[in-house]
Amino acid sequence: MGYEGLPALRLSLARELTRLDVEHELSGVARGRIDASDSLHDLAHKIGFHEARSIEDTVSGLDLTCLDEVAHAIAARRPVTVLGVGASGLVAKDLCQKLQRIGQQCQFTSDTHLQLVQAAMRTPQDVVIGISFSGRTVETHKALALAANAGALSVAITGNPDSPIGQVVSHVLTTTAREDELRIGALASRMAQLAVVDVLFARIAQLRFDDLDAALGVLPRD
């Protein structure tokens, strides 16, 4: 675990607990969990606190080398397929729309049967990204496994790199959300996923900066 002994481990845990206590105090949040008796003020601040911390923790722990490899592959105009269901499906759709906006070939469907078909038809020229916080979403796991077996560059955005999804891909981008403290965890985990998506998209746009004007110029103005 990286500690020289039990005393060092205890000291590290004590420091972490103290840090969390200070964070709660500074944010004005007495308890982490949302309660039926919370005022609207406390409710808003609890959600803001947990979502902000999820984003900060996710970005701090992000494997930037791995992310950069994925970004370069997509920036080279390799076709992209994005997978996800439920709340993760909304994040998958957001990523796909962002990529399409800058002229990147990308596909996403919420139909899980079509996801399997799309995944099975990938080639080594493709990039396939599956999003699942638990890493155990059966539909996403099956589709990612098919894509990986077809030779596609396979990517998981997940909160559990050791999960079934994390085990079948070549690249894992890990998210962090403390769902035990916020018992409506799709909020915090979704924000963590969006943070990874935004960093990935921004890096791709950065790598293709010279092409952005041409890509955005064909879009209708509001």
Q: State whether 66 and 153 are in the same domain.
A: yes
Residue 115 binned pLDDT confidence (cut-offs 50, 70, 90): very high
Q: Identify which of 175, 122, 176, 184 has the alpha carbon closest to the alpha carbon of residue 153.
A: 122
Q: State whether 81 and 29 are in the same domain.
A: no
Q: State whether 24 and 100 are in the same domain.
A: no
Domain count, the chain: 2
Q: What is the mean pLDDT of the chain?
A: 87
Q: Lowest-pLDDT range, 26-30, 124-128, 194-198?
A: 26-30
Domain-embedded: residue 219: no
- For 61-79, what is the mean pLDDT? 98
Range of 23's domain?
6-60
Q: Does the structure show a pLDDT above 50 at 131?
A: yes
- For 203-213, what is the mean pLDDT? 88
Q: Does the structure show a pLDDT above 60 at 218?
A: no
Domain-embedded: residue 153: yes
β-bridge mates for residue 128, sequence order: 81, 154
Q: State whether 150 and 209 are in the same domain.
A: yes
β-bridge mates for residue 80, sequence order: 106, 127
Residue 135: give its domain's CATH number. 3.40.50.10490
Domain-embedded: residue 113: yes
Q: What percent of the chain stands above pLDDT 70?
A: 78
- pTM for the model stands at 0.82
The pair of structure tokens assigned to 72 is 């370069």
Q: In the sheet where 171-174 sits, what is the strand order?
A: 106-107, 80-83, 127-131, 153-158, 171-174
Q: State whether 191 and 108 are in the same domain.
A: yes
Q: Does the structure show a pLDDT above 50 at 30?
A: no
Q: State whether 73 and 121 are in the same domain.
A: yes
| CA–CA separation, 182 and 39 (whole Å) | 16
